[in-house]
């Protein structure tokens, strides 16, 4: 399932409820771990990615208390970050994205769409006011479109499952690499 919220407390609660015992979680934008602390005890592996120095400092301490927690200080818009996460896991059960609830919808969507295409989560939890407002405003006026989807946390039916489609997506970011080959 793909779930979107804006309120940060609701995001943390939702993420904690969505993560199941033994899950692998990829979390983008954990900041100082307010969202991470809520679920890390349940996860088999949690890989947290944030570009902020403050996040790196906090997670240095947090990772000492949780052997299942990996922190990577990276910009999630770059494919280097994805490559580094792939050294720890090649798929995830839950993908969480919080770049700041007020971030532009296009950036949040692009980051989510790219990462979900690679890690194929069972569930996605996204914090974005703009995406939530877009979905609330939009009405789909086309009866030929699918109304039912498999219960997956990524756009499986849209085609990123195929390397060709994923490649086109990643090419737009100019960082295509063959993810089926061993990484350096």
Ligand X SMILES: C[S@@+](CC[C@H](N)C(=O)[O-])C[C@H]1O[C@@H](n2cnc3c(N)ncnc32)[C@H](O)[C@@H]1O
Q: Answer yes or no whether residue 55 interacts with ligand X by CB under 6 A.
A: yes
Q: How far is the CB of 15 from ligand X (least distance, A)?
A: 8
Instruction: Return the residue of 4, 26, 29, 121 that touches ligand X, per CB under 6 A.
Output: 29
Shortest separation between residue 64's beta carbon and ligand X, angstroms: 19
Contact between 165 and ligand X (CB under 6 A)?
Answer: no
If binding is defined by CB under 6 A, does position 51 make contact with ligand X?
Answer: yes
30 binds ligand X (CB under 6 A): yes
Stretch that binds ligand X, among 82-90, 95-103, 115-123, 168-176 (CB under 6 A): 95-103
Q: Residue-wise over 135-152: b if at least 16 C-beta within 10 A, else e?
A: eeeeeeeeeeeeeeeeeb
Comparison of 80 and 171: residue with beta carbon closer to ligand X? 80
User: Residue 172 class from Cβ within 10 Å (0-12 exposed, 13-18 middle, 19+ buried)?
Assistant: exposed
The CA dihedral of 114, 117, 123, 127, to the nearest 10 degrees, is: 10
Q: How far apart are CA 72 and CA 55, in angstroms?
A: 9
Q: Does 52 bind ligand X (CB under 6 A)?
A: yes
Footprint of ligand X (CB under 6 A): 8, 11-12, 28-31, 34-35, 49-52, 55, 75-77, 98-100
């Amino acid at each position: 399932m793909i779930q979107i919220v804006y309120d940060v407390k609701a995001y943390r609660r939702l993420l904690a409820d969505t993560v199941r015992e033994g899950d692998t979680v990829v979390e983008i934008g954990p900041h100082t771990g307010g969202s991470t602390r809520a679920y890390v005890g349940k996860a088999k592996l949690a890989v947290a990615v944030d570009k902020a120095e403050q996040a790196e400092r906090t997670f240095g301490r947090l990772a000492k208390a949780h052997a299942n927690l990996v922190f990577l200080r990276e910009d999630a818009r770059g494919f280097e970050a994805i490559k580094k996460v792939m050294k720890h896991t090649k798929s995830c059960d839950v993908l969480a994205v919080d770049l700041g609830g007020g971030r532009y919808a296009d950036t949040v969507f692009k980051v989510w769409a790219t990462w979900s295409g690679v890690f194929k989560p069972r569930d996605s939890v996204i914090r974005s006011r703009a995406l939530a407002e877009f979905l609330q405003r939009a009405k789909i006026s086309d009866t030929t479109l699918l109304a039912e989807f498999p219960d997956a946390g990524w756009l499986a039916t849209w085609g990123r499952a195929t390397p060709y489609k994923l490649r086109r997506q990643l090419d737009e970011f100019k960082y295509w690499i063959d993810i089926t080959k061993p990484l350096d």
